[in-house]
Structure 1
């Protein structure tokens, strides 16, 4: 396996994004992206550092960029059964006003909810469902979250540019659901409906969590 494919697979396995890896290595995220997408070849020291930061060790990098596993690295591995089921349930604790800032999600304790829905996505422990209200995240094509869609928020998932997130104002008890866009060091909350404005993040809000699942009830 090529070293960059191995690293990308490992990052997905342990839930590390390019932004997190870049921060740990004190590098820019676009540089990490170019390395992992083979648009720029790092030196051996950098490759070793990248692999170390995603907990890969005891491997040999050949001159053609392939990774070899010594016996000591795989002798304790075991076969994992495929098609393993994974399912857990989380509560609906509030709604998110998709068209504007809305009621904060912390306002309703999770245990007070009498509405729970299951997911087969692998998530952290601190998740909850929100019901979309408004049409700012309704798109004419591609991914869309029309009013009434249930979105599952994982508060332990790392966010990156392109993530669908719930963000909260730091000085007001309000929250919103948007797409996070990072451009030239600036962060924006972007609606999918072009009729709504893109909101710049200027230290006035924090990311509460990332959308990891969505459901639309048709009946």
Structure 2
């Protein structure tokens, strides 16, 4: 059986004398939630995984495409046949806005075969790809709350209609952006949410972090 991040955490808990109850107290959750996460019955968001790793003293884990995992003592360097994508401890809002910590910890790496990566990521370098989680339902129909999105962070400017991760004011969003005359229209795929505009006077509050390439829940879905 392949090793998993849950097994690595459970082994570390034995070493440091951590129990599910004490871990739950650190995370401010129920012991039942910890039990579900560590058994694999429920899949926690990446920010929860980050908190679990930090609580038991694990700095970095590599999670491979087949679900197997390896604890790393030092940051992995790219090998010729490896394509490693960093998963960040960041959540972007597909809702009304999510205020994140300025700390952007790498909580794991996802490894792809180089040929698989060429097909999925259309030649984008691994250094320019980051994975973050989304929160909220305003993009429902395209992706759901808790999904992971693959962001091309080399796209720091508006480059045509598409789904972008961006900061406006102090909040981090994932939404569709579209230029209409002299404004940038911010659109949600969930029709229950109204569109809103960023005017020329407000453009200095907009910072684009990247353009969404793929999202992943159980399946990878292409967005351009």
Q: Normalising to structure 1: TM-score of the pair?
A: 0.51
Match of 2:161 in 1: 162
Match of 2:110 in 1: 117
For residues 196 and 82 of structure 2, the distance between their equivalents in structure 1, rounded to whole angstroms, comes to 36
Q: Does 1:190 align with 2:187?
A: yes
Q: Does 1:93 align with 2:89?
A: yes
For residues 92 and 164 of structure 2, the distance between their equivalents in structure 1, rounded to whole angstroms, comes to 11
Match of 1:23 in 2: none
Match of 2:218 in 1: 217
CA-CA distance at 1:137 after TM superposition? 0.3
Point out where structure 2 has 5 or more consecutive residues left out of the alignment. Answer: 1-80, 220-224
Q: Normalising to structure 2: TM-score of the pair?
A: 0.50
For residues 180 and 82 of structure 2, the distance between their equivalents in structure 1, rounded to whole angstroms, comes to 36
Provide the aligned C-alpha RMSD in A: 2.5
For residues 133 and 116 of structure 1, the distance between their equivalents in structure 2, rounded to whole angstroms, comes to 21
For residues 107 and 126 of structure 1, the distance between their equivalents in structure 2, rounded to whole angstroms, comes to 19
CA contact (8 A) 1:94 1:107 kept: no
Match of 1:102 in 2: 98
CA-CA distance at 1:196 after TM superposition? 0.8
State how many pairs are aligned: 126
SS at match of 2:133: strand
Instruction: Write 1 or 2 for the structure with the bigger share of strand.
Output: 2
CA-CA distance at 1:86 after TM superposition? 7.5
- Can you list the C-alpha shifts for 1:58-90, whole angstroms capped at 9, x where unaligned? xxxxxxxxxxxxxxxxxxxxxxxxxxx883322
CA-CA distance at 1:188 after TM superposition? 1.2
Point out where structure 1 has 5 or more consecutive residues left out of the alignment. Answer: 1-84
Match of 1:135 in 2: 137
